[in-house]
Each structure stands twice: as C-alpha cells, then as structure tokens.
C-alpha cells in the first residue's frame, strides 16, 4: 500500500472555502476552540496517565509494522523512560524526521498500559530551537486541513487585514468608554492576543471567554447585531403600508359570533395589533404565546380588520397539517360572515390550484391560507395588506422576504404579523429580534387542564402500553411520538414504522395509525381524519404533529427517546394533549445508553419538563441549555447569529450595545456602516427579515 502524500495547496484553499473563510477579515475572526501549552518541556517519568506531555528525546527504533493494521511505530527515549509512538496515517516526512538517532520534540496524550508508555498520533518536530513564548491555538477545521496549515493561513490573513487598515476601531472612545472593560483592548489587539496568547495567561479566562480581549470581541459583535436591527427598523419606516382603519362591520360581527370570550391577554394584544394596522408604517410584530393560548383567534381578528378595510390577507404555516388546522378554524369563523377563503399547498391538483390562483389574483379570495406555496412566483395578489406567518422560526428567511415582497410598488410593504408558540426570552428578543415589536399572550383560556408529566426509562415500556390500553378502554385517545422514520446506523433509535407494528400487535382490537412526513398528503389527511373523528385509538407519529393538531379527546402523549429532543419541541408535543376536560398525561421515555446513565444535558432537559408546564420558563431554560442558534432554528437560514457573545451571560454588554447602536448610528454614521460591513456584510437583510 503506497504511503499517503502530504496535503497540497488545493487542500488549503478547499478547506478554507468549506469553513467560509474567503476574506482576510473572515480569517482574522476565525478564533481558536482551545489552546495547547507548548511553552515548557516535561519528562516521561514525571508524567501521569492521560496527561498532555511535551518532551524531547532520541529515536531508538522506527519501523512499519502490519499487525493489526499498517502503522509506523517509533520508540523515543528522553533519558528518564521510553515512549512508543504509533501513527496509522503517515507520510515520507515522518520517516525523515523520526529516523533512528534523530532527536525530536514530541507532544501528545500519554497512556500508561501493560506494554509501557504510548502516544497515538502525537505532534512532532526536530528538537532544539527556542520554545514558543505564546500558547498554541487549536482552530475549528475540516478534514484535510491541518492545524499548522490553518494557523499559518489565519495569522497571514490577520496580518494582511491589519496592514490594509481593516481592523481600525469603529467604536469611538466616547462610546466605548461607557463600558470600562472595553478600554483595555482594541479590536486589533484583541484578535492578536486571542490568536497567540502570551504564556502564563490564565487558560480559564480564555475558555470561559471572560478575558478582556474576549469582552471586546463580544461587545463588537453585539453592537453589530443591534446596529443591523436598528437600521432595519429605520429603513422600514421609509416604506408605506395600507392603513387598515375600521371598516363596515366585519370585525364587530366576528367578535359577536365567537363561541367564547377572549381572555384579558388576548384583548390586550388585539388592541396592540389593531393600532399597528391603522398606521401607514408597516407593522413588524411578533405574537407569542404558550401552546393553546389562543393565537389563531387573534390572527383571525387581525385578518378581519384587514378584510374590513377592503384588502387581502395571507396566512402561511410551515406544514400542511398546521395550515389545514388554521384553514378549518378560519373557515368556521369567517365563512358564515361572507368571507371567501382560498387554500394553497404544494400537494394541490392543477385544476384546483388554477382555480385558487385566479381567486387570489382577482381579489375575490379575501383570505389566503397555505404552506410555502403562498410565496411562489405564480401567486399574484390584487390587494395584499397583511401577511401572517405562523411558527415563523420554522421558515427560511427568504420565504418570509418573498411574502413581504408580494406588493408591486417598490416603496410598499404589507403589514407583517409573525406568530410563535415558542416564547422568546426577553434577552433573546433584545438581541436578535430587536427590530420586532413583541405582543405576548401570557394567559391561558379557561378549560385547559394541567398535564402531568412522567419521566420513565424505556424499560417501563410495557407498563406504558398497558396505560394506553386502559385509556383507550375508557374512550380516550393517545399519541406515541418517535424521532426517526427509518433505522439509522448513527443513532440507535427505534423507527416509527417498527414502533407502529409493535403497538399494533400489542393492542389487538385498537386502530393504530401511522403518520410521518414522507407519506402522500392524501394518506396523511385520511389518517388525521380517522384520529380526529375518534375511530383511531392511537396515533404513532414523528414530530409532524408538533403543531396544528387539536384533538380534545386525546389525553395521553408518549414521547420515545425524549432525551434526543430540545425542550421547546418537547413542550410543543406535550401541548397536543390537555385540550379537553379529561386529566391528561405526558410520558417521556428515555433510552438507557451503553454506560447506563443519561448525559447531564439530557437529564436536565427531562427534569425541567417534569417540573413545569410554563412555556416561558421552559423557553428560558432551553435558551440557556442550547444557545440562541439552535433555539431559533431556521430563522437565520444559514446566517450566523452570535458566534462569540452569549446573550444569557452577557446581558450587561447587550444593554450597552443597545444604547451604543443608537448613538453610533446618529453621531458617527460612517463608522456605523464600516462596523456593519465588517461583522454582518451581506447578511444584514437576513437578520432583519
């Protein structure tokens, strides 16, 4: 078998491209994951098992062996003991540097076993020369791009960017001085320090990002995001939207026809939205509320105000199940009042789609409900004035931008109402949703029953199946949610199809349904119809039922491999039960890993779920456990959120950045634009969507 050749220049350029490092500023901002201390030498004899050791010694033996696989085995003696080095991938340069008699410097993790001291794939080079005066950075990388290659590229990019003036300060002293910690480092000195920290610096301050150099970087990043949001808000003020004042009487008639009384929280947010719709300034509002808080009726009242004023409204949902749920509710409330509602999804037949498109284009369809099909280029509105997007975090940014751009006039935008059943913690709203006005429904309608949550090992599976049988015998229904559709070699999880077969066999006489995203739409619809009609006792599903399924008779939810889900998703799934008068329960089944213990993060998630039904508290814990990137899901559609700052830990910096952004934009507009170009670049429109 021929020896591998060393990486080429192409490997470097390809690797940098995969990492998204296309500009010198990208290289300069590509910061280390951790650091290695190569500033001192130790001895083999004084080291312990598992230590990271750097030592110098003489090669006493080197050979290629073929048992159990081809490898280069080298013995090095440092004068105190010997150490065996193993290399399973090696190049001709290995033989040259590690030749018998050569004196070398070795660094790696030492293992002490039955056959003595050993290191696998340690770093090595010829001995001698001065020891580094700085810690050695270890960068995030990709296959084929070695640390030495990446270090050289990053340091060269940093030097070029600094020489070109690209790291000049864009935060004037009058602004940075209002947060004293920022005065110790400039952007340039922060980056220089973090790429090559001096020996003796406390590693803990680098790892937890509390070092003043990190503070400076986090402040710069937070300021850029605040600037982006502030500028988006200011730019939106230049656009015009139709002012949707009180029309004839549709809004009043809808209020009168509703079979329930709105809660105080619902009335409050209806007033907030109504005031926005009456303005020519485009509304950009997030309506958030816990599962079952009654957001759909608020959306219906906003749509009624729009239709009352003679305009069209569009409502877009991420899944056909959720879109159909909205469609049925809105038809039930609005159709008796004479409102024509159109339905658009990707699964429609051509004839039906043509009919719906004609209704939308003519303006006869006053309300258009659908999935992402609503934003396709073939959909032409006559008088769109309000766009409502449900579960907005599950849409890509460009889909939301497309809906906003459905007006022909370049200076016009529709009012935009985004809805989410995943409450956004205040610090997150301040950070990446700062250009949104937020309305919160913080009160559940009467009649929602508390849900008892139990956390059980998968070893209790038979007991859970017996519980389901008892519930169905009492006339109730249940859900069983699985995380995968098919077997996966990467994750040892039971698939939905196998679970369906298992439960069908275990529950004779019970109709057990199967639902997942790859089923044809007609088949999904038939399954849901049987479940909603009460004929089907148990529905086995993937997370496709996370939102939009409302069956009051379902009183038991089982979530398999619950340790694999995020908190907010678990809460959404749990919210499918507790919608009727019967006592409801949610069982979180966790798989026992090989070691017999769940990981700390998984244990914490399940503990939170068992302790509270409060979606706002759960959202805050989810943010703390997962970070903003995962919490927001697809909102940024690939655009980076916060790479360096942590909005939970860096709240004081965030407050400074909010104030600083307004001052920088008004007093130093040129510096503000330079700052945005450096940190956000072309992603500004995505952050503002």
DSSP state of 567: H
User: For residue 3, is pLDDT > 50?
Assistant: no
> What's the pLDDT score for residue 309?
93
Does residue 494 surpass a pLDDT of 70? no
Q: How confident is the model at residue 269 (pLDDT cuts 50, 70, 90)?
A: very high
More confident residue, 391 or 123: 123
**Beta strands of 20-122 (E only): which ranges?**
34-36, 52-65, 71-77, 82-87, 103-109, 111-113, 116-120
User: Which pLDDT score is estimated for 401?
Assistant: 65
Please give the span between the terminal C-alpha atoms of the chain, in angstroms, as a whole number: 54
Q: What confidence category does residue 86 fall into, taking pLDDT thresholds of 50, 70 and 90?
A: very high
Among the listed residues 332, 25, 369, the one whose alpha carbon sits nearest the alpha carbon of residue 168? 25
Condensed to tens digits (0 to 9), the pLDDT of residues 133-184 reads 889 899 999 888 889 899 999 999 999 999 999 899 999 999 999 998 888 8
Low-confidence winner among 195-204, 568-577, 599-608, 641-650 (lowest mean pLDDT): 641-650
What value does the mean pLDDT take over residues 214-226?
Answer: 92
Q: Using the predicted structure, report yes or no on whether residue 131 has a pLDDT greater than 70.
A: yes
Q: What is the 3-state secondary structure (H, E, C) of 171-204?
A: CCHHHHCCCHHHHCCCHHHHHHHHHCCECCCCHH
Q: Could you tell me which of 295, 618, 309 has the C-alpha nearest to residue 285?
A: 295
Q: Is the pLDDT assigned to residue 486 strictly greater than 90?
A: no
* Gap between the Cα atoms of 106 and 122, Å rounded: 7
Give the dihedral of Cα atoms 134, 140, 145, 147; nearest 10 deg. Answer: 20
Which pLDDT score, from 0 to 100, does residue 228 have? 85
Question: What local confidence, expressed as pLDDT, does residue 397 receive?
Answer: 54
Does 490 score more than 50 pLDDT?
no
Mean pLDDT of the region 116-128: 94
Is 68 or 9 the better-scoring residue by pLDDT?
68
Q: What is the mean pLDDT of residues 625-630?
A: 59
Residue 349, SS3? coil
Q: How many CA atoms lie within 13 A of 347 on its CB side?
A: 16
Report the alpha-carbon distance of residue 345 to residue 358 in Å, rounded: 15
Give the model's pLDDT for residue 431. Answer: 57
Quick check: 29 and 65 in contact, CB under 8 A? no
Maximal C-alpha separation, the chain? 96
Mean pLDDT of the chain: 85
What topology is assigned to 40-126 in CATH?
OB fold (Dihydrolipoamide Acetyltransferase, E2P) (2.40.50)
Which residue's structure tokens are 């678990």? 570
Q: Two tokens at 448?
A: 């929602």
Nearest CA to 418 out of 440, 390, 439 is that of 390
Residue 637 pLDDT class (50, 70, 90 cuts): very low
Q: In the predicted model, is pLDDT for residue 481 greater than 80?
A: yes
With a pLDDT cut of 90, the percent of the chain lying above it is 46
In this prediction, residue 422 carries a pLDDT of 72
pLDDT value at position 129? 85
Under a CB-based contact definition with an 8 Å cutoff, are residues 386 and 415 in contact? yes
Quickly state the pLDDT bin for 49 (edges 50, 70, 90): very high
> Given this model, what pLDDT does residue 176 score?
92
Question: Which strand (E) or helix (H) includes residue 351?
Answer: helix 350-362
Nearest to 384 by CA among 290, 468, 469, 316: 316
Distance of alpha carbon 551 from alpha carbon 116, whole angstroms: 65
Per-residue tokens: 384:
């769109």
Domain 451-612 falls in which CATH fold? Rossmann fold (3.40.50)
Do domains 40-126 and 451-612 share one topology? The answer is no
| Helix (H) or strand (E) run with residue 469 in it | helix 461-473
User: Each residue of 568-581: pLDDT tens digit?
Assistant: 788 888 888 887 77
Q: What share of the chain is helix, strand, coil (3-state, %, to 5)?
A: 45, 20, 40
Residues 6+ away with beta carbon under 8 Å from 575: 290, 291, 292, 421
**Distance between CA atoms of residues 56 and 58, nearest Å:** 7
Q: How far is CA 383 from CA 230, 269, 313, 390, in A?
A: 29, 25, 8, 21
Average pLDDT over residues 571-595: 82
Contact 431, 642 (CB under 8 A): yes
- What is the percent of the chain where pLDDT is above 70? 86
Is residue 682's pLDDT more than 60? Answer: no
Strand partners, 103: 58
- What SS3 string covers 529-558? HHHHCCCCCEEEECHHHCCCCCCCCEEEEE
Say whether pLDDT at 636 is over 50.
no
The model's pLDDT over 295-341, given as tens digits with 9 standing for 90+, comes to: 889 999 999 999 999 999 999 887 787 788 788 888 889 999 999 99
Global confidence as pTM: 0.67
Domain residues of the chain, as ranges? 9-34+136-208, 40-126, 209-447+651-689, 451-612
CATH of domain 209-447+651-689: 3.40.50.300
Give residue 78's pLDDT band: very low, low, confident or very high (50, 70, 90): very high
Please say whether the beta carbons of 458 and 564 come within 8 A. no
């Amino acid at each position: 078998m021929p020896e591998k050749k060393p990486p080429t220049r192409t490997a470097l350029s390809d690797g940098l491209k995969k990492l998204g490092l296309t500009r010198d500023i990208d290289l300069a901002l590509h910061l280390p994951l951790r650091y290695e201390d190569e500033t001192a030498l130790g001895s083999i004899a004084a080291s312990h098992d598992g230590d990271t050791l750097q030592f110098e010694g003489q090669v006493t033996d080197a050979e290629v062996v073929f048992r159990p696989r081809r490898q280069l085995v080298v013995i090095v003696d440092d004068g105190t003991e010997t150490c065996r080095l193993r290399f399973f991938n090696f190049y001709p340069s290995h033989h040259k540097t590690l030749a018998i008699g050569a004196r070398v410097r070795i660094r790696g993790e030492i293992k002490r076993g039955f056959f003595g001291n050993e290191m696998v794939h340690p770093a090595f080079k010829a001995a001698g020369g001065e020891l580094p005066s700085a810690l050695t950075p270890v960068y995030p990388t990709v296959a084929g791009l070695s640390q030495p290659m990446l270090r050289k590229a990053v340091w060269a990019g940093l030097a070029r960017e600094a020489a070109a003036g690209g790291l000049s300060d864009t935060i004037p002293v009058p602004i940075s001085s209002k947060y004293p910690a920022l005065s110790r480092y400039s952007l340039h000195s922060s980056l220089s320090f973090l790429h090559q920290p001096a020996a003796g610096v406390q590693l803990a301050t680098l790892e937890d990002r509390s070092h003043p150099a990190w503070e400076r970087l986090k402040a710069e990043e937070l300021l850029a995001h605040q600037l982006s949001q502030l500028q988006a808000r200011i730019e939106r003020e230049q656009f015009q939207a139709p002012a949707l004042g009180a029309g004839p009487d549709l809004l009043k008639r809808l209020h009168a026809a509703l079979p329930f009384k709105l809660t105080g929280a619902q009335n409050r947010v209806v007033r907030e939205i109504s005031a926005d719709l009456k303005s020519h300034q485009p509304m950009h509002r997030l309506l958030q509320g816990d599962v079952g808080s009654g957001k759909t009726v608020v959306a219906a009242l906003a749509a009624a105000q729009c239709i009352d004023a003679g305009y069209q409204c569009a409502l877009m949902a991420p899944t056909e199940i959720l879109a159909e749920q909205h469609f049925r509710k809105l038809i039930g409330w609005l159709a008796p009042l004479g409102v024509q509602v159109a339905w658009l999804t990707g699964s429609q037949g051509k004839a039906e789609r043509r009919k719906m498109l004609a209704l939308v284009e003519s303006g006869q369809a006053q309300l258009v409900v659908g999935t992402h099909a609503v934003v396709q280029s073939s959909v032409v509105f006559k008088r769109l004035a309000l766009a409502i997007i449900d579960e907005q975090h599950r849409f890509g940014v460009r889909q939301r931008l497309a809906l906003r751009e459905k007006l022909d006039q370049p200076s016009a935008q529709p009012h935009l109402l985004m809805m989410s059943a995943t409450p956004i913690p205040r610090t997150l709203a301040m950070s990446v949703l700062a250009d949104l006005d937020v309305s919160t429904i913080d009160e559940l309608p009467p009649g929602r029953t508390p849900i008892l949550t139990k956390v059980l090992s998968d070893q209790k599976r038979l007991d859970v199946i017996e519980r389901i049988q008892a519930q169905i015998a009492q006339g109730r229904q249940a859900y069983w949610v699985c995380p995968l559709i098919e077997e996966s070699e990467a994750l040892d999880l039971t698939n939905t199809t196998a679970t369906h077969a298992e439960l069908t066999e275990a529950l004779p006489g019970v109709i057990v349904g199967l639902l997942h995203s790859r089923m044809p739409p007609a088949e999904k619809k038939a399954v849901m119809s049987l479940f909603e009609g009460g004929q089907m006792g148990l529905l086995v599903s993937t997370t496709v039922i996370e939102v939009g399924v409302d069956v009051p008779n379902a009183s038991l939810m089982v979530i398999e491999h619950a340790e694999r889900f995020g908190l907010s998703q678990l809460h959404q799934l749990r919210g499918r039960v507790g919608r009727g008068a019967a006592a409801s329960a949610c069982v979180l089944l966790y798989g026992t890993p090989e070691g017999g213990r769940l990981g700390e993060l998984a244990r914490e998630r399940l503990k939170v779920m068992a302790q509270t039904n409060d979606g706002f508290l759960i959202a805050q814990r989810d943010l703390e456990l997962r970070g903003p990137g995962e919490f927001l899901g697809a909102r940024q559609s690939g655009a980076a959120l916060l790479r360096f700052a942590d909005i939970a830990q860096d709240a004081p910096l965030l407050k400074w950045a909010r104030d600083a952004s307004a001052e920088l934009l008004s007093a130093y507009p040129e510096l503000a634009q330079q700052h945005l170009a450096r940190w956000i670049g072309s992603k500004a429109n995505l952050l503002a969507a």
